[in-house]
Structure 1
């Protein structure tokens, strides 16, 4: 008798079951397209920037020294002198939101130095040849500066609380403070990156940054009310985004009369204009 041949697997036989881990190796994830691409790129660039802070936290500690000195020395002294009328509000309370805005601006205004360093090291050229839109690249870096500024603002708020500044702890108002700090820092970092695209060198950017920080600070309502300024300085203050940031922070933190819809509108418009300008000038750095 002839041997019965072994049964062969038919074409309809199902393949062996694969685990989810093997599926991830064999099937690539679906690429983000359309409207989901830009937010994903922005989040990725923001995460890359914040990784630098994770590996070196000394920047947070050193940058906390200057606002602490402003509150401890300038604030306490002028509170005792009562030389600046603030509508019955202790001067230290009046000053604290201005110092939050100042410290956030000082973090962001020199952000262009980092992008020039990335140009010199070849990192920027590699980023520009990726599918990431330039606007997403700039926005990611801008909001990374905003996150750093929020961390700095937390330090200033804690110092102010220790000094007895009467601030609100309403969660919704604190979320508004975070939004204001993010928008203000994003604008100033975009301004710095736009200047970097014009001057192209770190030394020139450092000089320009130092030249504009003090006029921006003293030409705002961070230290004194607008009514005390001469007419020409009031005109400067009205086109200074820092004034709107300080006004919003005062209204949210200590409850002074403010113009929150106008403040948010100006900060949002300034941020969008800054992103557009920095994106347009970014290509000059890579030439």
Structure 2
């Protein structure tokens, strides 16, 4: 119960930060809005990518996940800043376990990612994206976004434990997000990829998140939903454990 309370405190702290400063959420929504408003319609006119739904509808879950993943991966910048300012050292001497701190911080990033997704959703509706009108599907989809964002935030904590400066962290973060995005099913079906990318997409956690959210919100194809959820759970568990084990390296 103490570990759960620590996690909830960190989530509450993130909500307070968002309440007082929402600029970052709005500014980071610009890129996904451009993907949906410009890239989607243009590529949809080419008709070179076979999809079962309009192309803009097809890429909407992928763009949404890319945006929330970007937020999560760069959440580690805050960890680096807290280390440099001495806040993190004070946190590490508290009785709270490393696991509760890492999972709590990661889940706090999930809250930020949810707000990011909620900004993109009405924009997608305005430009004509057709969602499945099922509240249960929306709840499950946003739960998956929340949990997967926690896993990617744990990746950022792991990176922060090795990167000593924010500049290095920025470079590594960018080098992780974009390959994951383009080597997933976010912009095109996996069947169109070269064999080597197809194999990589099978171990790319982003592919499973996009597949689950796309099935729930756009296509209604849920034959792989259990596999997607299990893959996301395994990814989160591995990242939480790895980030927790390396957490003390951040202040060394």
Q: Normalized against structure 2, the TM-score is what?
A: 0.97
Q: CA deviation at 1:96?
A: 0.5
Q: CA deviation at 1:179?
A: 1.1
Structure 1 residues 79-118: aligned runs within 5 Å: 79-87=44-52, 89-118=53-82
The total of aligned residue pairs comes to: 251
- Kindly indicate whether residue 248 of structure 2 is the aligned counterpart of residue 280 of structure 1: no
Q: CA deviation at 1:230?
A: 0.6
3-state SS, counterpart of residue 199 of structure 2: helix
Which of residues 244, 261, 264 in structure 1 aligns to 2:229? Answer: 264
Give the Cα–Cα distance (whole angstroms) in 1 for the partners of residues 35 and 102 of structure 2: 31
Q: CA deviation at 1:165?
A: 1.0
Give the Cα–Cα distance (whole angstroms) in 2 for the partners of residues 44 and 274 of structure 1: 21
Match of 1:152 in 2: 116
Give the Cα–Cα distance (whole angstroms) in 2 for the partners of residues 57 and 75 of structure 1: 27
- Alpha-carbon RMSD across the aligned residues, in angstroms, is 1.1
1:162-197 C-alpha deviation (Å, 9 max, x unpaired): 111110231111111111101221111100110111
Which of residues 156, 166, 169 in structure 2 aligns to 1:192? Answer: 156
Q: Which moved more, 1:161-170 or 1:237-246?
A: 161-170
Match of 2:2 in 1: 37
Q: CA deviation at 1:135?
A: 0.9
Match of 2:127 in 1: 163
3-state SS, counterpart of residue 254 of structure 1: helix
Give the Cα–Cα distance (whole angstroms) in 2 for the partners of residues 60 and 146 of structure 1: 13
Give the Cα–Cα distance (whole angstroms) in 2 for the partners of residues 125 and 50 of structure 1: 22
Match of 1:213 in 2: 177
Give the Cα–Cα distance (whole angstroms) in 1 for the partners of residues 135 and 61 of structure 2: 17
Higher relative contact order (CA 8 A, sep 6+): 2
3-state SS, counterpart of residue 198 of structure 1: coil
Q: CA deviation at 1:233?
A: 0.2
Q: CA deviation at 1:213?
A: 1.3
Indicate conservation of the 8 Å contact 2:132/2:220, yes or no. no
- Kindly indicate whether residue 22 of structure 2 is the aligned counterpart of residue 62 of structure 1: no
Match of 1:24 in 2: none
Indicate conservation of the 8 Å contact 2:14/2:111, yes or no. no
Structure 2: where are the runs of 5+ without partners?
A: none
Structure 1 residues 233-244: aligned runs within 5 Å: 233-244=197-208
Structure with max Cα Rg: 1
